[in-house]
Amino acid sequence: MDSKIDALVIGAGFAGLYQLHSLRDRLGLSAKVLEAGGDLGGTWYWNRYPGARCDSESHAYRYFFSRELNEEWEWSERYPGPPEILRYLGRVAEKFDLRRDIRFGCRVVSARYDETRNRWIVQTDSGEQYAATYLVAAVGCLSSANVPDIPGLGEFDGKWIHSGHWPHEGVDIAGKRVGQIGTGSTGIQAAPVIAQTAAHLTVFQRTPTYSVPARNAPLTPEFKRWVRENHEEIRAAVRSTPNGHAFRIAERNVADVTPEERQAIYEAAWEKGGLQFRATFRDLLADQAANDTAAEFLRGRIRAVVRDPKTAQALADIDHPYAAKRPPIDTDYFETFNRDNVTLVDLRADPIERITPRGIRTRSAEHALDIIVFATGFDALTGPLLAIDIRGRGGRALREDWRAGPQTYLGLQVPGFPNFFTVTGPGSPSVLTNMPVAIEQHVEWITDCIGHLRRNGIDSIEPDPEAARRWGAHVNEAANATLLSKAKHSWYYGANVPGKPRVFMPYAGGMARYRRICEDVAARGYEGFWLNRGSEREIPAARAGAAGEYAAVRGPGI
């Protein structure tokens, strides 16, 4: 089958659903979504590990394009879990009648740009073929599981699972000896819940990390009413903050307050819980000395909670500034190490040598296990795109073009790949933000852009390679203006995947600043892009100014 449509969207998560609605119902295009999963939900379809929960607060973790939708929907907890988020997305799909244009259980394996027909030819794993003028990758940033290549995994007699492919029927861990590798956001959520039912949990930690209590709780009727009645205010807040959350970053610097005041501010933020701990001072991510004060406070909390001094030391011996890696939030993570059935193995002192049929052997011991949980993260941002064989002009392969790292303009398009758009692609704020806010902005920009092309008889759009080069330099500059550049061993740099180029991938200049840049580019007639009509090419003149030079980054945007 060569099904011809205007637009094809890959992925039915938050991004794909809204992209379908926007292209089909606002622009009137014929559009289809191809989704590898058996149902909608993206991240939330796959990530059903014990303790999985959103780190963004529910009143900010939603679409904001429909006031009516928000009035109809009520979250039950401060941080929603996968079942509730899936119900929410199901409601969205129902309200906007999206399912009829989504094909589930079909994985896109290749996409090739046919220059003569100005069409994308897309193949799925079941041999279906589609042709579309516009191709939108809404494949997620964290959807390509990273299972480390540890010798002996194939010989393990027990069961092993990656957190991002948790079986939907669940895994019976009651009474089992479980080994968990990884202590990032996922591992920190999973360990306390696994420990409650497992006979024994052994946590294998390579890099310790800070964590702040989430303080999840049911929402009160008053709060729910406030959310319903303040749609516009909350929407305005998430659209104006650097990270797309509904909390504002304080105006003060650490040095503006006395040590006693600072302690009280940290204590209050610890009690309140959540990601807004990093919003207590505006220089926490820009100034090492400022960050040290937060880091020391958080290390002190670990030492105060964890009773065994050796375990406490291994958990608190953190080698990077606070929030330079994605900061987790938790429910009783450090308390879990006070349980009799939980052991921490510090892999820096005692590295894994191999997996044996019985369990995991480190340099000093063999740990007998029934189940190994890989909470080892993802081949982030580029992984889901490069899993598809994407070929642009002249058959050029994205995998080749990105060999030294991703090159995009605004994280929205790639030079040489006309009419191909990425939602929250590398080079955009994406994972540094509350994702639905970044997604909405991208989907709306892409929709406006395609609307502009169609109204003006433009066949295709693609970035000027020079604009992409300048944007890449700016992405670097933005990262280097923050302490994020001090944690080189992070997945923001691709450091968790052997052989992956070490390039800072998301845009750290802040969501609000990024939004302005994108708006400015569009207002200048899509400056930095080539607009093609047949063999004619319109090149909107680059003019000096904010969009041309992206305004120097003077402080951290995140």
Q: Give me the residues that bind ligand N01 (CB under 6 A), please.
A: 54-55, 142, 148, 163, 181-187, 189, 204, 206-207, 326, 347, 375-378, 431, 491, 496
Polymer length of the chain: 558
Give least dist CB 377 to ligand N01, A: 2
Closest listed residue to residue 459, CA positions, set 71, 133, 215, 135 = 133
Report how far Cα 530 is from the mean position of its chain's Cα atoms: 29
226: number of CA atoms within 13 Å, CB side?
9
User: Which of 377/425 has CB closer to ligand N01?
Assistant: 377
* Radius of gyration for the chain, computed over Cα atoms and rounded to the nearest angstrom: 24
∠ CA 436-441-443, nearest 5°, is 90
User: Which of 431/547 has CB closer to ligand N01?
Assistant: 431
Give least dist CB 231 to ligand N01, A: 22
User: Which of 135/352 has CB closer to ligand N01?
Assistant: 352
Residue 155 burial (C-beta neighbours within 10 Å; 0-12, 13-18, 19+): exposed
**What does the alpha-carbon distance between residue 411 and residue 468 come to, in Å, rounded to a whole number?**
9
Biggest CA–CA distance in the chain, Å, is: 72
User: Which of 24/326 has CB closer to ligand N01?
Assistant: 326
Joined together, the tokens standing for residue 443 give 């989907």
Give least dist CB 31 to ligand N01, A: 27
Mind giving me the DSSP string for 267-281? Answer: HHHHHH-SGGGGGSS
Could you give phi then psi for residue 173, rounded to 5 degrees? -105, 0
Q: Contact at 8 Å (CB) between 162 and 376?
A: yes
User: Which of 55/287 has CB closer to ligand N01?
Assistant: 55
Could you give phi then psi for residue 354, rounded to 5 degrees? -165, 165
Give least dist CB 355 to ligand N01, A: 11
Give least dist CB 506 to ligand N01, A: 10
Give least dist CB 53 to ligand N01, A: 6
Give least dist CB 535 to ligand N01, A: 44
**What does the alpha-carbon distance between residue 48 and residue 170 come to, in Å, rounded to a whole number?**
8
Q: Contact at 8 Å (CB) between 186 and 380?
A: no
User: Which of 106/375 has CB closer to ligand N01?
Assistant: 375
Report how far Cα 363 is from the mean position of its chain's Cα atoms: 34
User: Strands 536-538, 529-533: parallel, antiparallel or unpaired by DSSP?
Assistant: antiparallel
Q: Distances from the Cα of 168 to the Cαs of 17, 73, 178, 496, in angstroms? A: 22, 25, 19, 26
**What does the alpha-carbon distance between residue 201 and residue 189 come to, in Å, rounded to a whole number?**
14
User: Which of 181/461 has CB closer to ligand N01?
Assistant: 181
Give least dist CB 159 to ligand N01, A: 19
Closest listed residue to residue 70, CA positions, set 330, 329, 246, 274 = 246
Give least dist CB 44 to ligand N01, A: 9
User: Which of 205/447 has CB closer to ligand N01?
Assistant: 205
H-state helical runs in 250-349: 259-272, 288-305, 309-316, 333-336
User: Which of 121/373 has CB closer to ligand N01?
Assistant: 373
Residue 536 burial (C-beta neighbours within 10 Å; 0-12, 13-18, 19+): exposed
Give least dist CB 376 to ligand N01, A: 4
Give least dist CB 487 to ligand N01, A: 9
User: Which of 111/329 has CB closer to ligand N01?
Assistant: 329
**What does the alpha-carbon distance between residue 482 and residue 513 come to, in Å, rounded to a whole number?**
15
User: Which of 120/210 has CB closer to ligand N01?
Assistant: 210
Give least dist CB 301 to ligand N01, A: 19
Give least dist CB 203 to ligand N01, A: 10
Q: Spell out a b/e string for 311-338, using b for 16 or more CB atoms within 10 Å of the CB, else e.
A: bbebbbebebbbbbbbbbbbbbbbbbbe
User: Which of 16/82 has CB closer to ligand N01?
Assistant: 82
User: Which of 148/555 has CB closer to ligand N01?
Assistant: 148
